[in-house]
Structure 1
């Protein structure tokens, strides 16, 4: 059992296509989407301590620190492992919050894995996924952290063969926080004509207008600047561009080593992933 500090780097994800297919009796929605991991990360450090503590740096983290998914992940495991020693948690936040990139979910999932490794709990991937599902719908993805076709609330995962290494990625976040509850209320669930699981196997050059996100229509109507960012990416040579999740980050795929040198608004957060 380790008492030394341990550091991990939770990465974000993008949604490639997103369809809301059904409103469930429990109030949640069934969906289908493709999750793809992206090398834009936070930094999470954990050190054995006398009491549970949480501190943050980087992007300001709103809300009660006791509700942070890293803290909740520790408390979740402590229920089943009462001997788990308290820890001091420090999260350096770099992934934009409320952007549709799953940064908070990644932090919670990586916390579970870190504690499993640090304290040698012996939890299998399947067990970690079960814990992650209790934290949030997107959390299980970050346990496997490989391209997946997701259904249910996003927690039912099927690995798929999808490799975007031939492309560079541009992520633009204009600082708009889209309320997820509001976004869902704008949609009428419907099963798409063609399964995203099949369409995602098309060449990336054929994704435009085919791999779609149901949230774009209402969110772009409310925040027209997001549609402008997407169209600017296409004007600059993107092979594919879309909003991730319920927004508001816009992602563009460009041929490798050909990211455009665009003067974006100075208030935007712009990430180039080559």
Structure 2
């Protein structure tokens, strides 16, 4: 497995223009990497590559927030979000994180086609009643990025609220985002019931894939709706083999590449091709 890092950085004047047009508290390091502040936390991005089996290359990255203190991890994401006790604070924090991810990804990568995968906090989905994705769309417009290059990852817990799941998919899709939803096994017919609202990508845990007794019908259903299957959290060679044998389209996990403060690219899988 080989990785490479792109080093196209935000031009100072461009960053200043973006900063002046938003209310976000942002900083730019000498190497071009962007961070933001929430309370006493300095927030920045790490990215984990997502590999396409068919294309045999990295097609996007999942973004995760990290809180730093003197270059070391200070708080884990759940600890940072626990500081936002009020819904308004949570909404501001969630939007700040996505803005930081977008700046770091699109201004530190040479690729013009790869997709940024970002999650949204379930409390934000409940707090914002309509127009999900509008604020992020406005920010993407500001930096010249189309919403079609962003994959919104809907938290698995939203599967428990069928009406909310349908509502947020409708909202995000109307703004051009790609949608990734999680298969949790709670409703075997959920893809069928979603109908025209099916997600673009269905994510499943590698450990769940190993235990699932009906993998083939599940994958067939996902593909029949024109969606792709992403197997995530691949930690072992056995899980990687199972993911490839399942008919998965995309792969993600620490076995392939750990989240890093860089835009890494997976070029080879850590097992021979069949």
Whether these two folds match at TM > 0.5 is: no
Structure with the largest fraction of helix: 2
TM-score range, shorter chain: under 0.3
TM-score after normalising by structure 2:
0.28
Structure with the largest fraction of strand: 1
